[in-house]
Amino acid sequence: MLVNGQEKTLGSEATVKDFLESEGYKLHRVVVEKNGVIVPKKNFETEKLFETDKVEIIWFVGGG
Amino acid sequence: MDLLNIGGKSFSSRFILGSGKFSLEITKAVIEQGGAQIATLALRRANAGGKENILDYIPKGITLLPNTSGARNALEAVRIARLARELGCGDFVKIEVINDSKYLFPDNAETIKATEILAKEGFVVMPYMFPDLIDARRLRDAGAASIMPLGAPIGSNKGLLTRDFIKILIDEIALPIIVDAGIGKPSQACEAMELGAAAVMANTAIATAKDARLMAAAFKSAIEAGRTAYLAGFGRVLEQSAEASSPLTGFLE
Amino acid sequence: MSTTQKSDHMKYLADMEIIDSDIMNAVLSQTADYDYTAYQKSDVLNALKKDVIDFYDYRALLSPAAEELLEDIAKRARQETRKRFGNSVSMFTPLYISNYCVNQCLYCGFNCKNKITRGKLSYDETESELKAIAETGLKEILLLTGESKKLSDVKYIGEAVRLAAKYFSTVGIEIYPLNSGEYAYLHSCGADFVSVYQETYDTDAYELYHPGGPKRVYPYRFNAQERAVIGGMRGVSFGALLGLHDFRKDAYAAGLHAYYLQQKYPHAEISFSVPRLRAYKNNAENNPRDVREKQLLQVLFAYRIFMPSASITISTRERAGFRDNVIGLAANKISAGVRVGVGGHESEKKGDEQFEIADGRSVAEVHEAILNKGLQPVYTDYL
């Protein structure tokens, strides 16, 4: 799986929620795009991730 | 009470703070010293491990204004705006489409396209633009909630190079005109407010000051002074000595 | 006086197009708020200090307090006129092609109850009049009619416009208000500019002065310029007939009307006229009452400073000495070789005059007068 441009290996079948938590993210602080499509927050628990997925995890940073 | 109204919200502060180029630790103090109620943010890939999130450093009650920095065309700006909204911090978005790496000038044409799409999706769209009256009208007609013309190139600290053109927008466009980019000194922010700008956005000028907190306070005072002067209305300043000439209205019967 | 029930002057008649516009409400409510006694000289001086004046300043410029500062205001007006128009003064002439009228405007010589000679030009007569006028060198013409959908219908006017476009590079029309589709038709015939004057913006006074005829319908007339722009016309003209009612409020409203239209249609070219009441056949007593030259000048200056890029025309209702002095100062457009009866340029007139003119000079004489003021006569602004 490609996460923010980096190769990651999924241990087992995981939902977006499982993955984010295992990586240390707070769910309310990030937005996730899977294969170019936004995953709505309410689907974090049901949306599954696969090894072929391209995932972007985005959040706010300082900016003018 | 003199309030700035945008997108159904009212603000007593007319200082919009850009949150870039600060260390996270002083973000809160800078916002507080500046009295800002709106702060801009950018979107980027999250740090591995979810460490150091800026939202942890922004005081409660601040309206977040995500920008679309990094977007080079309308569709990229739309993507970033949608991502920002999904973060659950409201519908405000500052459209910023830059396709010029030398001067970092905004691309008005792409900005208009993005504004039209996002306004239809219910965003409160605040487009950053080069101050052109015709394009400002197009932005207004596309559904912009305010117009954010640049005073000078981003980060240049050159002040109100576009003064006369911004004044035209203030006179002609019935939306809040917010001067964004190029404001290097509090006196320049004050001048923009005296002209009738609805607010001033600044970032680099504060971030690069020796004491960012103190500079934020200076901007706060300057923006308030300029606003108050605008509301007070300028009086007649004696310019030249009296003009001696034959009367222009001597022909009346 | 007729005893029949008068129609509601604020209600459209069946064939009148209603457009989606809030300009009229904005103008009426703001004009109702205008109390010109509330302004002082300092307000006027403040206004003159600004680069761009706002509604408040415009109110001050039209107030009685401003009369005392007319010389200061004149300086600013001249500056604006010169900035926008340089030394050029445009010339044109009106051609009345018909004076049949179904309206009863109490101030107008064409009032259908007024016993005057009526007539209209045939197409041949129109063409020979146009030829005669074109020989003077003029390139812009304004075609006028009274209001009669029977005797001067849109088709008739359209043919006259077609003929005019053969001889003139710019054709304007000053006729009764039309629907946008009719304006589009006349535009396709070659007309680019439409003049419609509201006479008075006060709805009650308007009702009083227009006891009968379709002109009685206030909102239809008010929205004529907007329908003309929707119909594709390039420019529209505004004005109140000064002296009819409260001229300060009427001038204020006309300025706002133009301002809002320009805001909504930034491409439209805006013009003003400043007609004052004139005597006409069977009513030698018709006069502009409290609007003396000084007040007229004040209105001209206020229009110029409020909307610096607007074109301002000075008509032959005013004497030569006044007209020669306001060009370059506030006005940038002047008529010459004027007849206000039907025809009369090439052959005998076919109908009586709408009013008495005060400046009967020929095109050559006005041309000369413009040069004598150090200004440049211009015959065409457009390719």
- Is the backbone of residue B203 left (phi > 0), alpha (psi -120 to 50) or beta? alpha
Tell if the CB–CB gap between B253 and C322 is shorter than 8 Å: yes
User: Token pair of B65, please?
Assistant: 């204004």
pLDDT of residue B240: 44
The per-residue pLDDT for range B119-162, each reduced to its tens digit, is 999 999 999 999 999 999 999 999 999 999 999 988 788 899 99
pLDDT of residue B119: 97
Amino acid sitting at position C24? M
Q: Which CATH code for domain A2-58?
A: 3.10.20.30
For chain C, how many structural domains are there in total?
1
Sign, CA torsion C96/C148/C174/C123: negative
Amino acid sitting at position A2? L
Q: Thinking of the domain B4-232, which architecture would CATH place it in?
A: Alpha-Beta Barrel (3.20)
DSSP B181: S
**For residue C284, is it within any domain?**
yes
Which residue pairs, CB below 8 angstroms and at least 24 apart, start in B134-141? B134/C266, B135/B108, B135/B109, B135/B111, B136/B169, B136/B172, B136/B173, B137/B172, B137/B173, B137/C266, B138/B112, B139/B111, B139/B112, B139/B115, B140/B173, B140/B174, B140/B175
Q: What is the mean pLDDT of residues A34-54?
A: 92
Residues of B involved in catalysis: 94
pLDDT of residue C3: 47
Mean pLDDT of chain B: 91
CA distance B149 to chain A (A): 14
pLDDT of residue B244: 54
pLDDT of residue C4: 56
**For residue C252, is it within any domain?**
yes
Is any Cβ of chain B less than 8 angstroms from the Cβ of C293? yes
> Which residues in chain B are closer than 8 Å to C292, comparing Cβ atoms?
253
This prediction has a pTM of 0.79
**For residue C14, is it within any domain?**
no
In B, minimum Cα distance to A43 occurs at: B86
Nearest to A49 by CA among A9, B49, B203: A9
How far is C-alpha C185 from the geometric centre of its chain's CA atoms? Answer: 22
**Angstrom distances, CA of residue B159 to CA of B17, B179, B228, B233:** 16, 10, 20, 22
pLDDT of residue A13: 83
**For residue C7, is it within any domain?**
no
In total, chain A counts a number of residues equal to 64
Is any Cβ of chain B less than 8 angstroms from the Cβ of A42? no
Q: Where are the domains of chain A?
A: 2-58
Extract the residue ranges of chain C whose pLDDT is less than 50.
1-3
Rounded Cα distance between B135 and B138, Å, is 5
Give the B-side interface with A, CB within 8 Å.
Answer: 18-22, 24, 27, 40-51, 53-55, 64, 66-67, 69, 82-84, 86-89, 154, 181, 201, 203-204
Mean pLDDT of chain A: 89
CA distance B54 to chain C (A): 43
Q: What are the phi and psi torsion angles at C95 (to 5°)?
A: -130, 115
Extract the residue ranges of chain B whose pLDDT is less than 70.
235-245
- Whether A11 shows a pLDDT value over 80: the answer reads no
Give the CATH number, domain containing residue C121: 3.20.20.70
C275: domain range?
23-378
> Which residues in chain C are closer than 8 Å to B252, comparing Cβ atoms?
293-294, 297, 322
How far is C-alpha C373 from the geometric centre of its chain's CA atoms? Answer: 24
pLDDT of residue B235: 63
